[in-house]
Chains A and B, each alone.
Chain A
Amino acid sequence: MNRATILALTVSTFGVVFASLEDHLALDDRDEIFSGAARSGSAAMAYQDFWLEPMGSECLHDAEGYLDYEAIFTPMIFGVEITPQMLDGFSLNTNGSLRLTLGIDGWAEGSVSIGAPPLLWGNLYDWASIHRCSGGVQEMCYACGRRHSSEDGYNCSHDLGCAAKNAYSNQCTCPPLLVKVNCDDDNWNLSEDRIDTNPCASDDEIEGFQAIGIGKYCCCHGDISGTTSVSELTASSELRLWNGTTAASSSANSFAIEAIAASSGIGSATVSYEIRDETNGFLRAITRQVTAANLEIRPDINDDGTIDNYDRFYFDNGETWQLRVRDEPYKLALVSECPSAATASLLAVLVEGTGTVIRTEAMGGAILPLGTTSTSPLFAAKNEAKELFVDTSGGPSTIYLHYSLGFGGAHSPLTAMRQIHVVDANVHEEWATTNSLADLVYDFSDVTGDIYWTIYDDEDNIVDYGDNSSFTPIDLPPGNYTVEVYFVDVYDDGILGYTSSADLHVIDVRLARLFETANEANRIFNSTRKDDTTGNTNAVTEVVYEGTPSEERYAAPRNYLYTVGDPVTGNFNVSAQFDATGAEGCTNYYCAFYQPNGQKVIGTETNIDFTAETVAFSLPAPALITNVVWELRGGLDVNQNATLDNDEAAPFAIYTNSANIVKHARIKGITKKMYEDSSDYIDNRVDLWLYGDNTPPAIIFTRARTLLKMFFMCTGERGLAPDLAPTIVNSNVVMHAFANDGSCFSEWLTHNSGAEYDLNGNATVCDYTWDEGSDMSEFIASQWPFVPKVPTVGMIGINWTLTQTGYILHQFYTNVVESQVISYMNDMEVGTVQTFPTNGGWYTQATSTNFFSSLSPSWVPGITVDVGINPGGPTAALLSEFLATNGAADNFEAHITIGRGRIINPRYRFEVQKQNGDNGITFVVTNIIFGCTVMDLYDFNYEDGGAATHAAAVQLGFGNGSNQGRSEHGKIFTHKMYILKNYPYPFTR
């Protein structure tokens, strides 16, 4: 329906006058045929009215005498968007001027071109030019003076005496005038009554009818011009005049007729009238043929399942019918009231987007072909309504439905078009994490009309609300919410007031634990405080301070889970437990591991089932890489493509280091190959240590080899050199990986592996003990820091210098003991040997002096000392041994045998002999007796580098100690060495 047909046009003064657009818009009036001025208004963010003043001589019409103003006034405002509604305001006002209302969004300057499009004027005129009559003889209806062809474009007025004028007859040869049947229910009583005789917006079936006056075709020289009138106008029964009668007599030359029923045949309805001149009286009678027909695409606007006049109450926007996505179909009908010879056809169903279809029957019915023109008639008989169904369940899209009523070429077909715009006005269930709420957008901007949205918590308290069509919730704590959106002002567009709601689940997912599947004790998080100040600074970049800075630090990064590839598959088998709040029912949370470059590791993506206590990952290890560092990331599959996209994934924070940098959960995976290499490496060290294959083994570092063998060979005390094997084995010592109770060395346990830990971190390990006088105990007691004197290489040979302990002993003897000696032995005979203290006891750390200072913070029990010396590496130690035999190798062996150890109850005695020296009586310390217990945990730190890294790989490779098919594996153990050592003068051994 051409909404411009509501216009009533004057017979003689119709013309187009255009106003130049003030302020910001200019008129592209290339033919210089327009004048006038814009009346008012700003052009920014508003509507502006432009008034077109009458100009007089311009003639615009088509074959039917109608003007498609929408087509004529082609908006071409560059940079300015003219909304479709702007043409709604285009009307001819009562004094003959045109009012053009432009809706302007934005602020810009541009121009408007007004011209006749080819649709109206053919190609003879540029679309941007307006037609202006200039006279001439053309084919026309000699009865009514109308052109027969719209292509001539000339001469709708004639000079006096011209042939056309002279050949006037009563026989009108024009094609029938097409008038749409008015089907209005003007009183809204649900039946077509057409009682409203006043033009109104909804009465778009009322057709303007212009009787061609004398002045129209006899205006060339004006001899008949002047006051002419049209009178005795009558209409057939299908038609009625504007005032509600079927016949009238009027002196006016402009009428409106409306069709109240379809004509029986094409052109069978008629309008007849006489033309009279004031001077000459009756000039002649004219009868025009009219075809009355109707064509509608009628939606079930109120969505009550019935297409009736109720639907007319709501519908006023023309072509667009806005629907929402839903499962139930909408109804619409193709309705025609037409002459018997007419043919109704569905011309085309064009769809933008996918999803929505039009079915001939309800859900499941045949789908009308899309994108193609259907030429087959939809109606077999006259006045039949065809009901169709719009299936919007497929998603948002736009359908253009074109419908046509043809009249066998008698005149242009009657067409109707309906745009069906399907929008998703449904709130969908959403999942968001607490750190991704900012990315969650509810967007209903595609829906016309106002909306109000509200978010309720699970106790129906409103936590957020608004009225914007696109919104993001505020930061919400984890929980279940309901998002409700009320679409208010949308019934005009086809959607009745509608409320949609859906759950919003805000979840908070944190990593509770990441651990080796076979050994849950080897894990992140491991909150056990650590005491490790062994100087592993080279390979250690992570330093965690948990208590007083500088007191405690941990050599292995705590955000790393160290694991070794499965011996069969090579995969890294790790498991995770999540502390997920509000995740009940969440099925679209994924985790994956990422390489340092941010790329997802293929094959690691896992959909997380939060109902499961543990999520197991079997991570395919690369074949050509010995170790990997992969970061665990997780997130919701927001775009629902069943994969975790990079922008959806976020790492899991483990801790913030001293530099205030957040550290994330990672695994350090040691591949099967590296494990096997490490295993061979340590195997060689066990047997050969630092020598090559051609050098007889078991010559040096026998003690270190012994412990390494016990660790690596899984033979415990078996197969050891008899003089080095532990004296006692207690195979039932419970070690607590997570207990800082001072009894189990957890503060020194670098990786919670190498033992069969239970879920609480308890494992039974072996405790090996060497008794007093054993080779192992004697050896350790002879090294730093226990031995009072050590050799150093000087310029002229070996010098014996006091160790720190020796110095303290010397100070203690001088300051405390010596006076006791002199007093006690003063009266004794020369040569007497006396032990101090004289009561058979000991000078102890508790009662005498601090013989040893602990390297560990106060919370670490006992006194910790570094046993032996690391002179800078094995090579240096060997070199030192060969060059100077100064004990460096032994001290190094002690270092790699124990490293940092705990000493219990260190105590001393001095044996003093009264001697007669060169300078008289002297009291000479002839022997220092030292007793203590050295305790240690035997394990390895992967970050230490060198052999320790290999050993740690072996230690790490066995999960819960069940060795997973390997025949060899490392087991950590605790050990004690009871020391009762004599250091005879000069106290060097």
Chain B
Amino acid sequence: MIRILTTIVALFMHFICYADIQDDSHWLRLSSEIREMRLQLAKNGAYAFVMTTSATAKTPHIHSQYWLMLIPETNIALRQYEQEKRDFGLDMIGQLEQYAKQKIDIKNISALEQRVHELLAIANWLKKESGYGNFILKRWAEDMASTTISELAVNNDFPVSDAWSLLRRIDTPQANAKMQISILNEESPDHYDIPKGDTAERIVREIGNQWSSRKVSAVQTLKKKYAQKTVPQFSEAFPHDPRLAFYMKDINRVNASLRALWNDKDHEEVCVYGMFCKVPQMVEHILEFREAAGSIPVPTDSDLKDLERQELFVDKINDIWLSNYREKVSKPVGRLVLWVYTGMLNDTYSRVL
């Protein structure tokens, strides 16, 4: 409890001090800088923007909606600045949507490799700041990079070692989990304890447990402490799960070009799929199998023609696994390979909800 209150007090003191030290012109100037960055982002696209701007422009610290809601309404300039950064995040989502919609021939190794490079460059630039939006966007970029690597992994012409190298550039699940908990502790009035020495799965599950049990008490504590009705309901910002939601009910701020890509109903919240992205693990399994078997069966057009033939293709790989590599590879990969070739993996993990 003490820890929670300390956090809350720190949050408010942070805003108060900001307000004391910095006058409005300061925030207005910073806001104009972000607006300029948004123009550059729209003009050049995400990758070119990152490549040209990374040396000079500081990555915006994109806070959660809840963070913004805690800023006193009288501090208009600061709120405007924080909102400007969130709008930059929305612009970046639009840029990532362009990657999500981009279709590359699975045999075009260089194009796929370039896409991985670009997405990882964007992710690396985004994670230079530990805002909640930074984390969400970074994770999404990594998800898409992972699915692209999966396409390289099933391509026998692409060196296995190169695929492993690309895969290892992505943060591990454990690293992601700890990063996320750290950010949550900064941005929310609650505190999440990080289980030590546990698996990433366990970490994530434990966060969920803590969220479930504390989401009510956190808001009540806030109200009681400050005896004010203006303390926003935490659930308004994070109605489901603080781990994932970034933009809540913020669809009206989405620009027209991005909106055109979205189904409004599906994008009431901007979340990135999967707290624990499975794709890196899937790619690991595929690469393990490919290393063991020497190559991965490549489906013919006929193999992909209908569901029944697809099942035969899966069985074909799984039979190899059953017969020869059951001890070396922890799970059958036939279906994973099929999903890579049919694009289902990309469809699942290269999207926001």
Contact = CB atoms under 8 A, between A and B. Distances in A.
A549 interface: no
B318 interface: yes
Given A715-B241, A980-B318, A773 B348 contact: no
Contacts of B204: 721-722
B273 A722 contact: no
Nearest to A716: B353
A947 interface: no
A697 B214 CA distance: 13
Contacts of A967: 239
Given A715-B240, A725-B274, A840 B201 contact: no
A730 B344 contact: yes
Nearest to B206: A698
A723 interface: yes
Contacts of A717: 273-274
In the complex, which of the residues A715, A719, A723 has the most CB atoms of chain B within 10 Å of its own CB atom?
A719
B319 A722 contact: no
B9 interface: no
A835 B323 CA distance: 9
A719 B212 CA distance: 11
A551 interface: no
Interface string A718-732: 111111010111110
B209 A905 contact: no
A929 interface: yes
B339 interface: yes
B262 interface: no
B317 to A, nearest CB: 10
A719 B243 contact: yes
Contacts of A29: none
B332 A772 contact: yes
B274 A697 contact: no
A719 B319 contact: no
A773 B208 contact: no
B330 interface: yes
Nearest to B212: A687
Contact of B336 (A687, A698, A771, A962): A771
Given A722-B275, A722-B278, A725-B274, A697 B212 contact: yes
B344 A728 contact: yes
B68 interface: no
Given A725-B278, A773-B330, A718 B201 contact: no
A84 interface: no
* Interface magnitude class on chain B: 35 or more
Contacts of B353: 715-716, 718
A967 B241 CA distance: 13
B347 interface: yes
A978 interface: yes
B176 to A, nearest CB: 11
A840 B319 CA distance: 8
A723 B208 CA distance: 14
Interface in A942-989: 962, 967-968, 978, 980, 982
A290 interface: no
Nearest to A933: B311
Interface string B335-352: 110010000110110000
Interface string B38-66: 00000000000000000000000000000
Nearest to B322: A929
B103 interface: no
B335 A718 contact: no
A715 B276 CA distance: 15
B305 interface: no
B276 A718 contact: no
Interface in A675-714: 687-688, 693, 696-698, 713-714
B205 A718 contact: no
A722 B276 contact: yes
B200 interface: yes
Contacts of A725: 274, 276, 278
B241 A697 contact: no
Contacts of A721: 201, 204-205, 208
Interface in B302-331: 311, 314-315, 318-319, 322-323, 326, 330-331
B280 to A, nearest CB: 11
Nearest to B332: A772
In the complex, which of the residues A722, A729, A931, A982 has the most CB atoms of chain B within 10 Å of its own CB atom?
A722
Given A687-B212, A840-B319, A719 B241 contact: yes
Given A696-B209, A840-B319, A728 B339 contact: yes
B324 to A, nearest CB: 12
Interface in B227-241: 239-241
B224 interface: no
B265 interface: yes
In the complex, which of the residues A693, A697, A773 has the most CB atoms of chain B within 10 Å of its own CB atom?
A773
Interface string B206-224: 0011001100000000000
Nearest to A835: B323
A698 B173 contact: no
Contact of A771 (B243, B311, B335): B335
Contacts of B314: 978
Contacts of A722: 173, 200-201, 204-205, 274-276, 278
A718 B239 CA distance: 13
Given A718-B240, A718-B241, A962-B265, A773 B331 contact: yes
A698 B265 contact: no
Contacts of B133: none
Contacts of A774: 331
Interface string B167-188: 0000001000000000000000
B337 to A, nearest CB: 11
B308 to A, nearest CB: 9
Contacts of B336: 727, 771
Given A698-B208, A931-B318, A968-B239, 15 more contacts: A688-B212, A698-B209, A714-B240, A715-B353, A718-B241, A718-B244, A718-B275, A723-B201, A727-B335, A730-B344, A771-B335, A772-B332, A905-B311, A931-B315, A978-B314
6 nearest CB pairs, A to B: A773-B331, A722-B276, A687-B212, A719-B241, A771-B335, A772-B332
Interface of A: 687-688, 693, 696-698, 713-723, 725, 727-731, 771-774, 835, 840, 905, 929, 931, 962, 967-968, 978, 980, 982
Interface of B: 173, 200-201, 204-205, 208-209, 212-213, 239-241, 243-244, 265-266, 271, 273-276, 278, 282, 311, 314-315, 318-319, 322-323, 326, 330-332, 334-336, 339, 344-345, 347-348, 353
6 contacts: A714-B240, A718-B271, A722-B173, A722-B275, A728-B348, A773-B331
